[in-house]
Structure 1
Amino acid sequence: MSREVRPFRTSDLETLVEVSIAADTLFAEHGLLLPPDDPAQTVREAEHVFVTGEPVVGFTTVTTVDGNLHLAQLSVHPKHGRQGLGGLLLDAVVRHGLSRGLPAITLTTFRDVPFNAPWYRARGFADLDRSQWGPDLQRVWQEEAEAGVEVAPRIAMSRPLADHRAEAEQEVLA
């Protein structure tokens, strides 16, 4: 299987939907029943979609929220989990944010699900206090709550890109 990350192609949509549905089943194993979503709509609303695998076994969607890159979704098919593909996709998101000169990546996620907030914390994300939320992030939060996503404690998180920008500049100079 390819470990390459590339931009989404319309021909990826069918398998991307399958990945999204399969990945959502992992939440049931943690006692969370998520409301049905529409992965095709998620793709349409995204500014950028990155995928990995041929056929697709993982993907991420991003938008801009309050001037930051917002990670709207990161999903890997459970049959391909725990192989580093989520990290590979997250690295692509970081590179994308750096290339756009954005200050940070934000996301909303479940606080206590092991492959959610704890996973992101291990990759440099920190909890984002509500006092730090901009109006767009507040809107995203409200839309998720209205869609029924708030079936367990959720948090917003952020990861600054400035540190990574300095690292990238050092690599170029080396």
Structure 2
Amino acid sequence: MDDERQSHRSPATPRADAADVRRAEPGELRLLPAVELAADALFARAGVALPEQLTDVAELEAAACVLVTGRPPVGFARLDVLDGNAHLEQVSVHPGHVRRGLGTALLGAAVAWARARGFPALTLTTFEDVAWNAPWYRRHGFTDLQHPGPELLEQRRAEVRAGLDGAGRRVVLHLPLHPGA
């Protein structure tokens, strides 16, 4: 990364006082479904009924990268690769630790991970009308992806089959990571 890029703070760059984010250690993966379950309770409070589905440890082990914050982890980001782009499958922060910049720190680390590996963009799917979903990502520079690739389209079909669209309108967003992307 050149000096100009390092000194430029994009909206997804965490604050200097944000939490330490690191790759998950293998023994920590088993703790993350409980973080996800607690974080999902926030959706119920917002009137969004999520279908019962938890990420299991095998899915986390198969991910391209799992980032965590806290010891033990109180938040995590799971990254995969779809259509040649980094794909942010999930960001979850335990509700007892929200509004402290942890989600922003996890997002910033996910962007840095994807950039360092040369991915042209970071994609994700999220709820359009939940304040800490699409509106939050848009404040961090993400925009609607008009023409998702075949793997991302299959991801959306899987979300429909899992009942996520019944919980609220879903959108596909992306963040270009390199000039011309």
Shorter-chain TM-score tier = 0.7 to 0.9
**Root-mean-square deviation (CA), in Å?**
1.6
- Tell me the residue number matched to 1:137: 152
Q: Residue by residue, what CA displacement relative to the aligned partner does 1:103-127 show, whole Å, maximum 9, x if unpaired? A: 1000000000000000000000011
- Tell me the residue number matched to 2:53: 37
- Tell me the residue number matched to 1:147: 162
**Larger deviation: 14-23 or 105-114?**
14-23
Q: State which of 56, 59, 69 in structure 1 corresponds to 2:86.
A: 69
Larger RCO (CA under 8 A, 6+ residues apart): 2
Amino acid at match of 2:153: Q
Distance 2:70 2:125 in 1: 25
Paired residues in the alignment total: 161
TM-score relative to the length of structure 1: 0.88
Distance 1:142 1:17 in 2: 23
**Aligned: 1:125 with 2:142:** yes
Q: Tell me, yes or no, if the aligned pair for 2:93 and 2:102 is still in contact at 8 Å.
A: yes
**Aligned: 1:50 with 2:67:** yes
- Tell me the residue number matched to 2:44: 28
- Tell me the residue number matched to 1:156: 172
Structure 2 gap segments, 5+ residues each: 1-17
Structure 1 gap segments, 5+ residues each: 166-174
What SS class does the counterpart of residue 164 from structure 2 fall into? coil
Q: CA deviation at 1:83?
A: 0.4
Percent identical among aligned pairs is: 45
Distance 1:20 1:61 in 2: 11
**Aligned: 1:97 with 2:118:** no
Q: Tell me, yes or no, if the aligned pair for 2:64 and 2:80 is still in contact at 8 Å.
A: yes
Moved segments of 4+, more than 4 Å: none
The within-5 A match list for 1:160-171 is: 160-162=176-178
Distance 2:54 2:152 in 1: 21
Distance 1:97 1:14 in 2: 24
Amino acid at match of 1:11: G
**Larger deviation: 38-47 or 106-115?**
38-47
Q: State which of 10, 21, 34 in structure 1 corresponds to 2:26.
A: 10
TM-score relative to the length of structure 2: 0.84
Instruction: Provide closer, same or farther for how the CA distance between residues 143 and 27 of structure 1 changes in structure 2, counting only shifts above 3 A.
Output: same
What SS class does the counterpart of residue 49 from structure 2 fall into? coil
Distance 1:65 1:17 in 2: 22
